[in-house]
Amino acid sequence: MAIDFKESKTRVNLMKAFAGESQARNRYTIAAEEAKKQGLFSVNQIFLFTADQERAHAERFYNLLKNLSGTTIEIAGGYPIDHFESVVDLLKAAKHNEMEEADDVYQAFGNEAKEEGFIEAASTFFQIAEIEAIHGRRFGKLAELLEQNKYFEKEANGEWMCLNCGHIYTGKMVPQVCPVCRYERGYFIPAEIAPYLGYDFVS
């Protein structure tokens, strides 16, 4: 039996997803500022990079509600408060939230949309869930490297890239400043993070 979109669970779930993505964008923008204060400029850029993707997700969910323009959808939901001074804690919280969206929330929303016959909405939930899983792994790897003190140094030679100028540095420890552009070491990202950002600079 066909469900009227105006009465559907899918419309509510789309609004919940829009709210969640909008909040994630703001949380990551705030987290980016904390990373910047602590001299972790590459982590700052990764938070902002991810925040822009969350904005794109929010826009996609919002566009699927276009036919309801002029109406109001009431929602109830739980949203996280991740107000930590530790960048590692901010990253761990972000990982948890992203994986929860990927593995639980958007899978449930997608299944409900499919059951109600809203195939485009279902596909969107499932597709964005896959992206959120990438976000989660990205944040998790960043937290792991920072917590293990492997973000700027390795036991054996490693590779890093300066996000400001693109210089690839090879060694056991990132220099205090980039030898090319003279930006400080906080602009370097380790090779392990590069694939999550669309880079491939490992030799």
Tens digit of pLDDT for each residue in 154-176?
Answer: 989 999 999 999 999 999 999 99
Whether residue 128 lies inside any domain: the answer is yes
- Position 16 in a domain: yes
pLDDT greater than 90 at residue 179: yes
CATH number, residue 180: 2.20.28.10
CATH code for the domain of 137:
1.20.1260.10
pLDDT band at 96 (very low <50, low <70, confident <90, very high): very high
Same domain for 171 and 111: no
Residue 203 in any domain: the answer is no
What is Dmax (Cα atoms) for the chain? Answer: 66
This prediction's pTM? 0.92
Residue 91 has pLDDT above 60, yes or no: yes
Q: Residue 192 sits in which domain range?
A: 153-197
User: Are residues 129 and 180 located together in one domain of the fold?
Assistant: no
Instruction: Identify the three-state secondary structure at position 153.
Output: strand
pLDDT digits (tens, 9 = 90+) for 180-196: 999 999 999 998 888 87
